Amino acid sequence: MRFEHREGIGKAKLDLKDKKILALLCQNARTSSTAIAKKVGLSRDAVSYRINNYIKNNIIIGFKTIIDISKLGYDSYHLFLQLNQPKKEIEKELINKFKNYNFVRAILKFHGKFDYELAIIAKDLKEFDSIFNKIVEDCSDYLQYYEILPIIKSYKITSTLPRSFYDFKINNITKDQKIEMDETDRKILSVISEKASIPFYTIAKNLNLSPDTIIYRIKKLINSGIIINFTPVINYASLNYNIYAVLLQINNLKDQKESTLKQFLNSDKNVLWAVKTLGKFNVLIYVCVNNTEDLHETLLNLRNYFPNDIKDYETLIAYEEFKYTYYPF
């Protein structure tokens, strides 16, 4: 999930070809302008011109590599914090502390019951306990309530944009060949994680390796499932879209109900990402919509799938992103 809120940005007007270009970039941000041109019926120069305009107009604000952190031996936790309305300078100080921790992958600010969400990685529960105690110590004078949601499994990982944005299917490629990463692989991930569109020859030059070596190693990282995808960072505000986090408590979520949940997630056009969690809430979903009616439609659709089983839920609107990285090392 990627989110960027910027004040004063006008809403972009996109035609069908723009939407197809963006959808193809979400499928693989390293796709060449020539390959995209063939699929959308434009010249290569026209595609390059449009992509440069997306960047110029802050529709695309970067390119990142989605990395499966579990394959590197880490577990993921989402910590939701409710603060007692500290002063702005105190809040800024807390955010800066959180940003500087390399175990924090993402920091999102919300409107709703919870004020912040921290996406955290740890090698085991003991390490997470140490991390959690540090965070509580940082904000203990202002912490009113919290919810810890360890991630157990992924239900849905899609492109950066919801299916409601475009009218054709995007396939996700998953691989599972095992490899042992060495220091060179880690250096490559460090470079490409925040600059997914960087040319291979530039990476090679920076690391004093040949381009063929870089290409070979990145292909291995893709085939192993460590690299999930290359994706643009979309400024949703520029497209008039909002991100919502939905925290669900579904009774007895196993077997048949889990299958029903997957049916809902695959059928709903607004769901971006969904995982199973432990804690009071056992499902965490991110929804991307351009109006509240679409959000209500998704929530109603969810209730129809589970008419008697949703015991509790919270809906939070993402307001600002202070950090989002897939490789925080």
**Per-residue pLDDT at 181:** 87
Looking at the DSSP assignment, which residues form a beta bridge with residue 283?
248, 276
Instruction: For residues 151 and 216, give the distance between their C-alpha atoms in angstroms, rounded to a whole number.
Output: 31
Nearest 5°: CA angle at 157, between 6 and 218? 90
**Residue among 179, 129, 172, 177 at smallest CA distance from 154:** 172
pLDDT score recorded for residue 158: 63
Give the integer Cα–Cα distance in Å for 281 and 264.
Answer: 18
Task: State phi, psi for 230 to the nearest 5 degrees.
Answer: -110, 130
Cβ-contact 247, 80 below 8 angstroms: yes
> CA 272, CA 117: separation in Å to the nearest integer?
17
Neighbour tally for 11: CB within 10 Å = 11
- Gyration radius from the chain CA atoms: 20
Amino acid symbol at 129: D
Distance of alpha carbon 306 from alpha carbon 30, whole angstroms: 39
Q: Selecting from 3.40.50.620, 1.20.120.80, 1.10.10.2890, 2.60.120.10, what CATH number does the domain 16-62+164-234 have? A: 1.10.10.2890
At residue 192, the 3 state secondary structure works out as: helix
Alpha-carbon distance of 135 to 43, in angstroms, equals 51
Q: In Å, what is the CA distance from 273 to each residue of 1, 22, 219, 285?
A: 7, 18, 25, 6
Residue 63 parent element (H or E): strand 60-67
pLDDT in tens, the chain (329 residues): 444 444 444 466 889 999 999 999 998 999 999 999 999 999 999 999 999 999 999 999 999 999 999 999 999 999 999 999 889 999 999 999 999 999 999 999 999 999 999 999 999 999 999 999 999 999 988 999 999 999 999 998 766 888 888 755 544 444 455 567 899 999 999 999 999 999 999 999 999 999 999 999 999 999 999 999 999 999 998 989 999 999 999 999 988 999 999 999 989 999 999 999 999 999 999 999 989 999 999 999 999 999 989 999 999 999 899 999 999 88
